[in-house]
Each structure stands twice: as structure tokens, then as C-alpha cells.
Amino acid sequence: MNSNLILFCGMAASAAGTAVAAPKTAPHKQPNIVFIMTDDHSYQTLSAYDRRFIKTPGIDRIADEGVLFTNSFVANSICGPSRACMLTGKHSHINGFRDNRDQFDGSQQTFPKLLQQVGYQTAIIGKWHLKSEPTGFNFWNILPDQGNYYNPDFIDKNGKKRNEGYVTNLITDFSIDWMKQRDVSKPFCLLVHHKAVHRVWMPETKYLKLFKDQKFPLPSNFYDDYAGRTAAGKQEMSIIKDMDLVYDLKMLDKENEIQSPYRKAYQNGEYARMTVEQRKAWDVVYDPIIEDFKARNLSGKELTEWKYNRYMQDYLSCVKSLDDNVARLLKYLDDNGLAENTVVVYTSDQGFYMGEHGWFDKRFMYEESFRTPLLMRLPKAYHAHGKISQLVQNIDYAPTFLELAGIQFPSGIQGESLLPLLKGEKPDHWRKSLYYHFYEFPGEHAVRRHFGIRTDRYKLIHFYNDCDTWELYDLKKDPMEMINLISSLKYAEIVKNLKIELSALQEKYNDPIRLKSQAE
């Protein structure tokens, strides 16, 4: 592709967010940007990556007509911090949002603010989860906190309003409505940020029976004993021990015989939000499942595998509604002449465990939560197609969007623009490793604090504070990350070199947490 298609502005922006000049001349209009981000959508349950569980033709279309990143990762695998990394192009310790207890500093520089400075209309609809009020958007209509699946509240500049319907459909409705009402003389950037597929996985009523009779194969490491991995053994996100029968698996029996720690949270929360009609449709499907579950009186291995299967059925049914709505959004772009000059991105705020290691949730630097889907379709002038295998991270989204808009992004951004890769180039200078840092402990699911480095073959993780341990994985020989090689003499030189590179990354990204044991 002709590199002249990517124009830089005449005036550079500073890291503090100095005004950015738009290109004075350009052979192509600034592209629109539609950035679809879901929550906890595992790459294993998107058929562009993995066809074992579900077909997702709506989402897959983005890759079919564009590119699929096969090595896409996050910087901190938890909802709020991942969103802050995406908005700023900076790691958590720089943008100040390390875990979900923090509040995002809305005065700092973000890519929507820089897009606004060169004439873009910006909007975010759906999940925000950063506690502070959105800044840098001409329009916003967001879910409070995590949001709800049924009849969710939305907050805009006029206050909070409850909306009847299913959240995935509503977010798409509001997104299309905004595109209809925008100023058509200006380019736009629309963030469509879904609640799904976040816990507690409540499917749309029309899909409650979609996977009802399907039995899913267990991951090969479902019954992991966590040998050699101290932190993994201390977590609290086990399907066996920690998945709640009522809150997570909807076994809300009318006889009140199934008691669980979070029964009332579900009964008085998500279930109570339904209308009479919605609850009737829900109960028609779930009451027989509950009755059958009680009659079987499962225990041990049978109970564990029943829980896994119910989890998969509910989760995948929620994915189905996501896929429908991505297809609907793409159709709107097609039908209204917007597809040819609109960048469409699909990703998730992180990956998710679908029973691997016996888990649900995320947080760990292990592959299933560290890795995230990333699909992009660019305007036809860019001719980007196929798979891209270089290591990319969610701090790269901001500089990519800015460069697509013709903006020279500020030096304070830590991510890399993906434009060279989208142009089919294989730059020699491209990163050879990724840095990760997770902070939320003590916290839900009890995943210990850790940081680490991943190359194309190896992963080195350091758990710190109350769990001072190191882990090394050879991803080529052990893709499921079951064998901790940190004490293997055969890998001693590799560990030494990885620690040196890890130290260099911490210095490059200016992470203040650098432990003495790292240099040993």
C-alpha cells in the first residue's frame, strides 16, 4: 500500500495534550472509526479463532473482509484497567487506573480528545466502568458500573434512565440512533462497548434453549492440580469450588431449597429486573432445568461437570446475541454508504477462562485471559487482509486510531501504531516482547499481584508481595502452561535473559515496581 495514504499532521502534540493540527491536504477523507469492545469475550468462543464451540459469522465477517490478529494481548487483564489502557495508550501505572477500585482521571489525555481536536465527533455507548464521568466525548450514554442484562439503566448528561429490553440489543439500538443523528459533514469515532459476555451470563430469552442439549468437552487441564504454581493454587475462581449455583448458574428454585452464598444477589438483582413477560419466558426454560438438577442430586465429579456445561451454555448463548448485533451494525454501515470509509474494530477488554485450569474469570497472565481477540476491517483503500502474527497489545489501539486520522500521536503514548502491520509491512523494529502487570490483590478471586514478560515462545511471570514466586513456560512445548520450568537448569540461561529483558521493559515503561528478586 502507498505509504502516502497515512498523513501526519503539521504540528506535533505534546504528551500533555497540546492541540493537534489536522492535515491541510489529504488524498483520502479521514476515516470514521467504529470500535466495538465486548467484555470477557474469550478468543476460544469466536469462530474466527476457534470453531469448537460456536459459529460467529457476524463477528467473523470483520476478519473475512479485513485482518485477524493472532497474537493480541492486554496489559492488565481486568475490566476497568483494560479500558483505561485502551483510552490512553499507556500502561496502568502511568494512566493511574491499576484496579477496579481506582477512579479514572478524566482530565488526562485520551485518544477521543485528540480526535476531537481535528474535527471528529466522538461518542461512547455502553459499558464505561471507570467511575468518573466520561470526558472527550460529544455524546455518551453509559451503563452504571457493570450494568445489567435485562432492562438496564443508562446514564447520559441528563441523568439515569431505565430502558426496557436486552442490553446487547439496546447498546446497538442507541449506537445506530447516534449515527443517524450525527453531523454527516464530519468524521466520527463511535465506541460501542458491550456488557456481554460478563458474569452472570444471562442470555436473551429467544436464545435460552440454543445450547440446551449440547454437552461440551472438558479442556485437557480442567482438573489441574496446580503443581509447581503456588499462586494458581491460591485463586478463588474455580468452577468446582467458587461458581455459585444460583448467582452464576440460575438454580433459583421456588421451594428455596438450593441455598448458595449469592442466592439473594441474583434473586433481588438480575432476576428481579425482568418484566413479568420476560420472567415468564425465562422460567419456562429454567424451571425444568432446576427440577431435573434437584432430582439428580449430583455430587463430586458429576456436579462439577454439570456446572461446567451449564456455564458454557449460558455464556455461548450471550455470545450469540453479540454476534447478531455486530452483524446488525455492519449492515447499517453497508446500507448507509459508510462501510467504504469506516474502520471497524472488534475486541474484548480481555480474554476469559472457559474451564482451562478448572477456571472461569480472567486476571492471570496465563494465555486464556492475557490473550484477547482483535479483528479489524479498514477502508478499501488500505487493502489489509489476512492474519497478522506480530505481538500487539491494547495500548496500541490509541496510537493506531490517531495515525489513521492523520495525527502524529504524542510521545507520552506507550503503545505502537498498528498501521505498518495493516499496510502489510514486517518492520524490523517491531517489539519482540510484551509487558504485563496485574495489581488487584487483595480482591475478588484472590489472584495475586504479578508482572511478567512474554516473547513469541517464552513467558516469565513474577508473583510478588505475599506470594514471592517465579514461573517460566515454554509455550511451544507447553501451550497449556502446566509445567513451571523456573528451576530447570536447562532453561537457566533463558531465565537470565528474560529477566534482563523484563527489567528493560520496566525501565522503558517507567514502572516503579521493580523487585530485587528480579535481578537474581
Cell 474494530 belongs to residue = 345
Same domain, 308 and 326: no
Same domain, 383 and 459: no
Same domain, 370 and 275: no
* Nearest CA among 473, 279, 290, 463 for reference residue 363: 463
In a domain, 54, yes or no: yes
* Nearest CA among 200, 239, 201, 234 for reference residue 222: 239
**Is the bond leading into 74 cis (omega within 30 degrees of zero)?**
no
Q: Quickly list H helices, 202-299.
A: 230-234, 263-267, 276-296
Domain end point (choices 407, 426, 445) = 426
In a domain, 212, yes or no: no
Structure-derived torsion over alpha carbons of residues 490, 496, 498, 503, reported in degrees to the nearest 10 = 170
CATH number for position 478:
3.30.1120.10
Same domain, 262 and 302: yes
DSSP state of 336: T
Tell me the pTM.
0.93
Q: Quickly list H helices, 153-225.
A: 167-181
pLDDT of residue 336: 97
* Nearest CA among 505, 488, 494, 481 for reference residue 229: 481
The neighbouring-strand residues paired with 102 are none
132 contacts: CB under 8 Å, gap ≥ 6? 103, 104, 105, 106
- The SS3 of residue 398 is helix
- The SS3 of residue 70 is coil
Burial readout 433-453 (b: 16 or more C-beta within 10 A, e: otherwise): bbbbbbbbbebebebbbbbbb
Q: How many domains is the chain built from?
A: 3
Same domain, 370 and 396: yes
pLDDT of residue 516: 57
CATH number for position 193:
3.40.720.10
Three cell numbers written together for 392: 500487539
Same domain, 460 and 396: no
Q: Quickly list H helices, 297-425.
A: 300-335, 367-370, 397-404, 419-422
Cell 508481595 belongs to residue = 465
pLDDT of residue 389: 97
Same domain, 160 and 258: no
In a domain, 205, yes or no: no
Distance CA 253, CA 248 (A): 14
Strand 139-143 relative to strand 458-463: parallel, antiparallel, unpaired?
unpaired
The list of the chain residues with pLDDT below 50 reads: 1-28, 517-520
Same domain, 195 and 232: no
pLDDT of residue 515: 62
Determine the longest span between alpha carbons in the chain, in angstroms: 72
Cell 472461569 belongs to residue = 360
Cell 447516534 belongs to residue = 178
Distances (CA, A) of 392 to 73, 371, 378, 415, 518: 6, 10, 17, 9, 24
The neighbouring-strand residues paired with 344 are 34, 377
Task: Write phi, then psi, for 305 (nearest 5 degrees).
Answer: -75, -25
In a domain, 14, yes or no: no
Same domain, 451 and 419: no
pLDDT of residue 27: 35
Distance CA 483, CA 456 (A): 18
**Is the bond leading into 197 cis (omega within 30 degrees of zero)?**
yes
In a domain, 491, yes or no: yes
pLDDT of residue 12: 32
Burial readout 269-290 (b: 16 or more C-beta within 10 A, e: otherwise): ebbebbeeebbebbeeebeebb
Same domain, 416 and 500: no
Domain that holds residue 271: 227-312
Distance CA 357, CA 370 (A): 14
Distances (CA, A) of 194 to 39, 60, 141, 207: 6, 17, 12, 18
Would you say 45 and 53 are in contact if contact means Cβ atoms under 8 Å apart?
A: yes
* Nearest CA among 99, 454, 181 for reference residue 471: 454
Strand 342-348 relative to strand 32-38: parallel, antiparallel, unpaired?
parallel
Same domain, 488 and 398: no
In a domain, 22, yes or no: no
In a domain, 190, yes or no: yes
Same domain, 180 and 58: yes
In a domain, 21, yes or no: no
Would you say 402 and 31 are in contact if contact means Cβ atoms under 8 Å apart?
A: no
DSSP state of 68: E
Domain end point (choices 246, 281, 312) = 312
323 contacts: CB under 8 Å, gap ≥ 6? 56, 57, 58, 59
Domain end point (choices 384, 399, 426) = 426
Distance CA 181, CA 176 (A): 9
The neighbouring-strand residues paired with 438 are 450
